[in-house]
Structure 1
Amino acid sequence: MSNQPSSLERFASVVRLRAEHREEYLKLHAEVWPEVCTAITVANISNYSIFLHEDLLIGYYEYLGDDHAADMATLAADPATRRWWALTDPCQQRVVGTPDG
């Protein structure tokens, strides 16, 4: 029997790190902005981690809320998160065969 809350959902994603942006991406993630961390917490996300394997970024988080879509919309509307994504999104490339998002 698991000790995990019954409402816990786990999410993972895989994206490719663009070689020409590797240093920039790693530098940004060495000091994630506190307001971005707060927005993630407010969105009911915990244990958010990104692992780097060769050129693949493997993201993982646990969601403890009641409405994942609404919480993700709130996170996406957060001004600090939008500024953060404006810097990090160009560093990433979708892996063919994976869903958008």
Structure 2
Amino acid sequence: MQRMGMMIGIAPEKIAEYKALHAAVWPQVLARLSEANVRNYTIFLREPENVLFGYWEYHGADFNADMGRIAADPETQRWWTFCGPCQVPLASRAEGEHWAMMEPVFHMD
């Protein structure tokens, strides 16, 4: 199992919309995440900085293939058309990233 953290900005005027979207995530999107071996997924909001922090645990053997299946899913792509306009990618993110991935430096069970 691999723990993964990521960050992205959020447009302040879109916070209520983003919260409403995530209060009722579409079942197909949740199913696709589960099929891609994503577990224990949580998104946190930090205001007034307007930053989202996402955490999940990846339980698969081929992360790139699993993420590719998520990205290829039409319903997930449609979901992103609603979420994407709310998000403000960090300028410091790596090439090809939307959410900026983070390095784990400590964990306690």
Corresponding residue of 2:6: 13
The aligned runs of 1:18-97 (5 Å cut-off) are 18-54=11-47, 55-97=50-92
Structure 2 gap ranges (5+): 99-109
Identity of aligned residues (%): 43
For residues 31-55 of structure 1, the C-alpha deviation after alignment (integer angstroms, 9 at most, x for no partner) is 1111110000000000011001111
Cα distance between partner residues in 2 of 1:96 and 1:13 = 14
Aligned to 2:107: none
Give the TM-score, by structure 2 length.
0.82
User: Following the alignment from structure 2 to structure 1, what is the Cα–Cα distance between the partners of residues 9 and 93?
Assistant: 11
SS at match of 2:71: helix
- Give unmatched runs, 5+ long, in structure 1: 1-7
Secondary structure of the 1:65 match is coil
RMSD: 0.9
Q: Aligned pair count?
A: 94
Structure 1 runs of 4+ off > 4 angstroms? none
Q: Give the TM-score, by structure 1 length.
A: 0.88
Secondary structure of the structure 2 residue equivalent to 1:25: helix
